[in-house]
Chains A and B, each alone.
Chain A
Amino acid sequence: MSSLAATDAPATASPAKVIQPAWVRVMHWINALAMILMIMSGWQIYNASPLFNFSFSRNITLGGWLGGALLWHFAAMWLLMINGLAYLITGFATGRFRKKLLPITPSGVLHDVKAALTFKLGHDDLTVYNYVQRLLYAGIIVVGVLIVLSGLSIWKPVQLYYLVMLFGDYPTARYVHFFCMAAICAFLVVHVALALLVPKSLRAMIIGR
């Protein structure tokens, strides 16, 4: 009997709903690694010619010096760009972006921001993003596209001149690149904090359910 029960169990138990499909999980963590490498090496590159009146502590930078940081930055960029492109294509092709991130209405965002600030924002069903999540996730995708485009402009200001024109000129593209990094770091703080506050969302990004 016990053996029968054991074999029956998986067939009868309804499998937990998949919250994050495998491709999202794989690309999410590849992106996380690529972002960390890009940001830490980027800080070291920034230090060679700071835009503002501060430098990043060498304890949190990657590469040791400008040359090493550039090697890391221009290696990790492939990981970031290829993975990011694959994510965008899959996100659009599967309709995931449309299903998960749209619509984003001002009233919806306002309502959910209020609810979040009063700790009344529910997250019982992790498959449905609230309006704050939709806005942040859609926003960070736009920032991700911008940081790659501004980065390409800085890297190839002659060959990709039309891209530079999009930002105005080379120095402006540098500032855009920096502020996109700042936006991603701000997003990361909120994103990681909330993932830790709602551990089942972190679990879903690891095992899918």
Chain B
Amino acid sequence: MAKRSFLISGVDKRLLIRDSLKVMPDLTRRRFITGGASLGALSLLTGCDVVDSSSAEEMLKTVSKFNDAVQAFIFNPDALAPTFPESAITKPFPFNAYYDLDEAPEVDGKDWKLEVRGLVDNKKSWTLDELYQLPQVTQITRHICVEGWSAIGSWTGTPLRDFLKLIGADTRAKYVWFQCADKDGYNSPLDMRSALHPQTQMTFKYANEILPRAYGYPMKIRVPTKLGFKSPKYVVSMEVTNEYKGGYWEDQGYNSFSGS
């Protein structure tokens, strides 16, 4: 599998800067390293030569994987994200991506199909009309961004676990991997236990209206038990798999589990 290298390599500097990290004038892969290496005390922590920047990076990657395991251990599949009354909804709900709104995917709902792949009995693709026939529920939950800000929104759609059941997914598999229509091909892995969480949703509506382009038309995956970047928008395919296929932000260093 072609996995992107860790941290920022292979990612357009321009895009990254324009993204959430507006405060960064000169982002390079090395900045992360030199930021670490300049701290003399680091050698105490790593027990290795700080000039050898890759050792610091390796140490941080190892701890992040350890943190994935800790979070999976802490994760309670029955713990629900708090829900709110309609009056608590954040208006306007922010648009956030690594590109501007006018660069957001413009998906034609008539042509769009959700591809289903991997460890499932029924690999048929789903049209939007077919998906709209499935029972839907509404949740008003807090979206928490990896950047720290949060906003409360109202999402309506089909619980992902119902859909996984419907397509005969092997729920013993480790991940559901989503691919999206965003420029540069957004993708993100979701661990199966989070995918089966009762609040994890295939979202078709925001505030009782068909999902607008800004929020991921025609379909997003809403995971209120994880940070916002783990809720992919403009989803075009889902794959049930045991293989860790990486993700757009995960490969650049965001913690992969990123549970709330």
Most chain B beta carbons < 10 A, residue from A46, A154, A159: A159
B64 with A63: CB separation less than 8 A = no
B63 with A75: CB separation less than 8 A = yes
A75 with B20: CB separation less than 8 A = no
B118 interface hit (Cβ, 8 Å): no
- Produce 1/0 per residue, A165-184, CB < 8 A to B: 00000110010000000000
* B residues less than 8 Å from A170 (CB atoms): 142, 144, 150
The stretch of A17-25, A54-62, A198-206 that contacts the partner chain: A54-62
B79 with A159: CB separation less than 8 A = yes
* A residues less than 8 Å from B7 (CB atoms): 67-68
* Docked CA distance A79–B63 (Å): 11
Known: A74-B64, A78-B63, A79-B45. A55 touches B23 (CB 8 A): yes
B35 interface hit (Cβ, 8 Å): yes
The contact of A71 among B60, B76, B81, by CB within 8 Å, is B60
CB proximity of B16 to chain A, nearest CB, Å: 7
B260 with A75: CB separation less than 8 A = no
For the A-B complex, the count of residue pairs with Cβ-Cβ distances under 8 Å equals: 119
**Closest chain B residue to A75 by CB distance?**
B63
B45 with A49: CB separation less than 8 A = no
* Residues of B in contact with A, size category: 35 or more
- Produce 1/0 per residue, A123-166, CB < 8 A to B: 00000000000000000000000000000001011110100000
- Produce 1/0 per residue, A71-93, CB < 8 A to B: 11011101100000000000000
CB proximity of B228 to chain A, nearest CB, Å: 11
The contact of B253 among A33, A71, A161, A174, by CB within 8 Å, is A71
A37 interface hit (Cβ, 8 Å): yes
* B residues less than 8 Å from A49 (CB atoms): 20, 145, 147-149
B79 with A158: CB separation less than 8 A = yes
Known: A158-B259, A159-B75. A66 touches B39 (CB 8 A): no
B249 interface hit (Cβ, 8 Å): yes
Known: A33-B45, A74-B64, A156-B74. A64 touches B79 (CB 8 A): no
B218 interface hit (Cβ, 8 Å): no
* Docked CA distance A74–B253 (Å): 12
* Docked CA distance A47–B35 (Å): 15
A33 with B150: CB separation less than 8 A = no
B16 with A65: CB separation less than 8 A = yes
* A residues less than 8 Å from B144 (CB atoms): 157, 170
A159 with B33: CB separation less than 8 A = no
CB proximity of A185 to chain B, nearest CB, Å: 17
Of the A-B pairs whose beta carbons lie under 8 Å apart in the complex, a sample of 18, sorted by A's number, is A45-B148, A47-B23, A48-B21, A48-B146, A49-B149, A61-B35, A64-B32, A67-B32, A67-B249, A68-B7, A70-B146, A71-B60, A74-B67, A156-B71, A157-B142, A159-B259, A170-B144, A171-B150
Binding site for A on B (CB under 8 A): 7-8, 16, 20-21, 23-25, 27, 31-36, 39, 41, 44-45, 59-61, 63-64, 67, 71, 74-76, 79-82, 142, 144-150, 224-225, 249, 252-255, 259-260
